[in-house]
Every structure is written in C-alpha cells, then in structure tokens.
Structure 1
Amino acid sequence: MSETLSSPELNVDTCRTQCREMIRVGSRSFAMASMLFTSKKRDAAFFIYGWCRFCDDQIDQAKDENSALLALNQLTLRTRSAFHGEKQSQAVFFAFQHVTKTHQIPELYAQDLLLGMQMDVQQFHYESFEDLLLYCYRVAGTVGLMMTHVMGITDLRALKNAVDLGKAMQLTNIARDVQEDFKMGRIYLPESWLREKGIPPAELLSEKYRKDTYALVLRLLEHAEIFYQSGNSGLSYLPFRSAVAVSVASCIYREIGRKLRRLGPRALEQRTIIPTFRKLLLVLKGFALALKTLPGRVLAPASPVPITTLWRHS
C-alpha cells in the first residue's frame, strides 16, 4: 500500500482520491457516515482516517515485534516532521499535514494515538478495565479529539463527549473482535475480569469457557453504552450536519453491540457485521437523533470559537 501513496506531485486533490479509497475499503461504516459532512469536513475526515489506516497497516504488516517497533519509530518521526512543517513526499502524510495545520490539531493527539499502537506492538497486558480505557482513549478517543477541531466545536465540554464516543466505539470493536484478536495473540479483556471468571487466557475461546467469555463481552458492551450516552449528549455542541454524521456513526456502531447481544455466545464464532440495508435505516435513526438538538440550537445559537484547551487523559 505504501507504494500507491507516494507521488512526485502531491496536492489536496490527489490525496483526497487516495484517502477516500482507503476509507471505502477499510471502513464502510465510517465511509457512509462521512458522506454526511460538508465537503471540506469530509475531506478532513478522509485525511485523518487515511493517516490512521496507513499507520495501522504498517504495524500489522511487520513480520515480528522488532520490525513493528522499527516501523512505529519511523511513523512517529514522520508524523512529527509533518507537524513541524517539513515537506512531505508521501500522500498520506501530505494530507495529514494539511488537515492538522488547517484545523490547528495538536500534535499530542497524534502522538498519543501512536502510543496506543505501541501497546499493541508490545502486547500490553490489560490488568484492569482502567488499563483498557487508556488504550481506547489512545486509539479512538484521540480521533474524536482531532475531529472536534475539524468540526469547529463551540463548547469545550464537547471534548469529553468526543473522547467518550471514541471509547464507546473502540469497546464495541473489542467486543466484536475477540476471536479475531485472539488469533493474533491479542487479548483485550481485562485480566482481572478473566480471573473473576476463572478463565485461563489460553482457553479464552474454548468450549468450556465460551459462555463465561461471552459474559465478559456483554460486560464490555454495558460499559460501552454508558460512553455512547455521554458521546451522544455532545451532539448539541456540533454544527448540525456534523452532528448528523457523528450521530449516524454512533448509531451504526451501537447496532453492532446490539447484534452481539442478540446472537448470544455464537457472536464469538464470527465477525459481526451490519447489512447495508440496516445501515441505511440507521442513517435515518441518526438523523432523527440529531434533529432532537434543533430546539437548543434555535434558543441558543452558537458561534464557532478556536479550541485553545489541550485535552489530557486522566
């Protein structure tokens, strides 16, 4: 993929085409939701996603931990160079530099995301749920924070909502991908939870412990619901079209959790997906959810202000 992302003549238009294709292939749910943004915000979402996807692919394609660490180090250096104004020769970094400069996105959020990838590379052991939330902040909450700059929020309280929605989506991802992650040698379920159920990590998906493991998946989803509620409560801080796009993404991911509940322990046997026709219905649901914020917008119209607060996870 890296070869297709290089070009001697880079510009925003060529970057847009490549990043749009990356999100189309990598996440149809986000691709669908992003189409509801205004064109400039849609491009920004493409550029942020393109950088995230590229970094993730570079790590996943590494042959071993040492190779992955070397790749991560290179990604960290190249990301830093993009923030420091150095000329970029690769489309994904050219685009990322453009969006971070245009929307004054802090470098901290990108570096925090790369720290989340480092946790994967070093096969971090999640002893507690708090450890897992740190990971969720780094790999997903940071994306929410970057997007608050793109969307031009009008209330700094929206930063927490953005982080919480990112956490909710990542917890949903983890709940959905238990089997897939296990095959890659990754276990995100907190070790303290496994001990409570008496589940040996090596037997996480064995027939003997399948129901207990599924009970922990449900526990993850219960926590995710709390974060979805917080995330959705921040829709009123966003411009209306942005609120619609975010609401649709939230509804689609939330539906994954609901389907996991309906499937029961069988959910651990295969990746849960939402059919396209169902996603179209969820677009309507997301639009309806965003419509509920209209009364507040009429009574207290907001004027976008630059974000000067730097969010730090605690």
Structure 2
Amino acid sequence: MSLDRPALVQFARTSIARGSKSFAMASKLFDAETRERAWLLYAWCRACDDIADGQDHGHGMTRLSDGPARIARIRHLTGEALAGRETGEPAFDALGLVAAECGIPARLPFDVIDGFALDGEGWSPRTADDLHRYCYHVAGAVGVMMAIVMGVAPDDDAVLDRACDLGLAFQLANIARDLSEDDAVGRCYLPAEWLAEMDIPPGEHMRPAHRAGLVTLARLLTDGAARYEASARIGAFALPFRSRWAVLAAAHIYGGIGRAVAKAGAAAWDHRVSTSKWAKLGAAMRAWGESLQPAPLSPSLRPDTLWTRPRL
C-alpha cells in the first residue's frame, strides 16, 4: 500500500473496528481530522502489539521463540516510517503519516517499543515503580502521543503528564482484568514485592489457595487505576470540546473495567470482564454532560504522589 492518505485512513479505520470496540466508539466523538489521526496512530499500536505477541488484532496471544527478531523488525519499520520512507506495511506507513502531520517526537514510538521488548524478554516487575514504568512504555507513552494528535504541544508537560496518567489508568485496569490470561502465557505484572507481602510464591498467584491474596493485590491495581483516571480527567479540560468528550468517554469505559474487577472480588477471573454496547453508550452520554462543566483544576496542580513520566 502506498502513502495514499485515504487508503491508509481506511486501513486504520478497519483496524480499530476489529481490534477495539471501545476505542472505536470513543473515537467517533472526535472531530473528523482528529478521528482519522487517532485511527492512524491506533493502527500502528495494534500492529506492533500483534507482531510482538503473535496475535491477530489482540486475539490469540501465544508464547513465542523469536521475540527479539520480532522487536527488531518493529524497530526497523518504525524507524523507516518516522524517516518518511514508505515501508510497504500500512500500519507503519500510518504512523509515519500521523507523526509528520502532528509533530510527534520520535522518542515516543520507540518508548512504546521498549515496552514490547520487556515482554519479549520475559520481564516482570520487582517494585511498584517498575510496574509504573512498564505501564508508561506500553500505554502512557501512547496517551502522550494521543494528546499531541489532539493538538497539545509537545512541550506542554502539565497536560501531557495528565495524558500519560490516562494510559497508566487503562493499563493498570487491564492488568487487573487479565491476570489469568497473562499467567497462561507465562506473564505476571504483579510486583515481586507485592507477592512476597502476600506470601504468594512466584508463578503461583492464580492458584485457588492464593485467591484471597490475589484479590487484595488486584485492588491495589484498580485503586491505582482510579487515582490516575481522576488525574487524567483534569487534563481533559485543556482539550477542545470534542476531544475532551472522547477522552472522558474512554475514561468511563476503561475505568469501568477496573471498577468491575474490584466489584467481582474473587470471581473476577472466572470470565473476562467486558463492557456492553449499552454501557459504552451510557459512558458517552455521561462524558458529554461532564464535558460541559467548568474545569475542576489546572492541569499543573498534579499530586506529587503520582508517578511521573520521563521528559521528552
């Protein structure tokens, strides 16, 4: 596929429709230009995730033996795209297009790739700081790029910190929801220090005997997600109305995942927590009302207790 913008936008639109119904719905709330750019960025994120984990649009994650080679391919194609060269891979050409249009700093896509590399190495966090740094790489940096797509200047640290917070909130909630699925492919994102505090041996957190401790640790994840979501909501008021609406809707939808996991307690991993179409519509309506309210605080008044992303 050539660097034909309409064709790349259509490819990206198909990708988000297949890969994430939640993000696809939230993206409809953007103005047309921002929506297309969000799709283009999503297509790259989705392709990288699929290549790194051997998936198809987020489904069918497997154990892989060629992880380093896959990450090397992602790095190469991303570098080519950011340099303005056609890659022959539409998802990477989509990144090149949106990065050029919005002035996305090259460091950010490579920060995301560093997160995929950690997974490929079989990495697990030792501390909460390790966990937050991982969440930055795989989701927070994406939040920063999305904010730039929405028109935030790359040097507006106060707003970009809040955008990163939304990515952290999403990832912490996802980790809590997917503990069982991740365990099935040998991954664990619960910090080793947390496991030790609950007397849970490494690799045994999904055993029935440790369910009570697991519920406690999952609550740490979902409580953390709620704190970062609250911070991100403040940053949303620095955005244009349509973008603010979309961000707040996404916060409701993904925040609902963490809240559902916390509410389910020990039964949270009996089946995968999901959000219904009607719940998504309700989230969009609530977000519309919230978007009309005055800004609650300045984005610069961010709590010092929250983890802070690396500066560009």
- Superposition TM-score, scaled by structure 2 size: 0.90
Which residue of structure 2 lines up, in the alignment, with residue 59 of structure 1?
52
Task: Name the SS of the counterpart of 1:105 in structure 2.
Answer: coil
Q: How does 1:1-314 map to 2 (within 5 A)?
A: 7=1, 9-61=2-54, 66-153=65-152, 155-293=156-294, 312=310
Q: Alpha carbon RMSD of aligned pairs, Å?
A: 2.0
Query: Which has the larger share of helix?
Result: 1
**In 1, Cα distance between equivalents of 2:93 and 2:209:** 50
Uncovered stretches (5+) of structure 1, i.e. residues with no partner: 1-6, 298-310
Displacement, 1:94? 1.6
Which residue of structure 1 lines up, in the alignment, with residue 305 of structure 2?
none
**In 2, Cα distance between equivalents of 1:82 and 1:293:** 40
236-245 or 287-296: bigger deviation: 287-296
59-68 or 218-227: bigger deviation: 59-68
Displacement, 1:65? 5.0
Deviations 1:59-117 (A, max 9, x none): 11187655121011011011111111223322112211110001000010000000000
Instruction: Label 1:104 to 1:74 Cα distance change in 2 as closer, same or farther (>3 A).
Output: same
Displacement, 1:118? 0.5
Task: Name the SS of the counterpart of 1:288 in structure 2.
Answer: helix
Instruction: Label 1:126 to 1:283 Cα distance change in 2 as closer, same or farther (>3 A).
Output: same
Displacement, 1:153? 2.3
Deviations 1:276-301 (A, max 9, x none): 1111111111112211137999xxxx
Instruction: Label 1:98 to 1:191 Cα distance change in 2 as closer, same or farther (>3 A).
Output: same
Task: Name the SS of the counterpart of 1:125 in structure 2.
Answer: coil
**In 2, Cα distance between equivalents of 1:263 and 1:66:** 35
CA contact (8 A) 2:67 2:121 kept: no
CA contact (8 A) 1:19 1:46 kept: yes
Displacement, 1:125? 2.0
Letter in 1 for 2:117: Q
CA contact (8 A) 2:234 2:296 kept: no
CA contact (8 A) 1:113 1:138 kept: yes
Count of residues in Structure 1 that have an aligned counterpart in Structure 2: 294
Instruction: Label 1:295 to 1:136 Cα distance change in 2 as closer, same or farther (>3 A).
Output: closer
**In 2, Cα distance between equivalents of 1:151 and 1:139:** 19
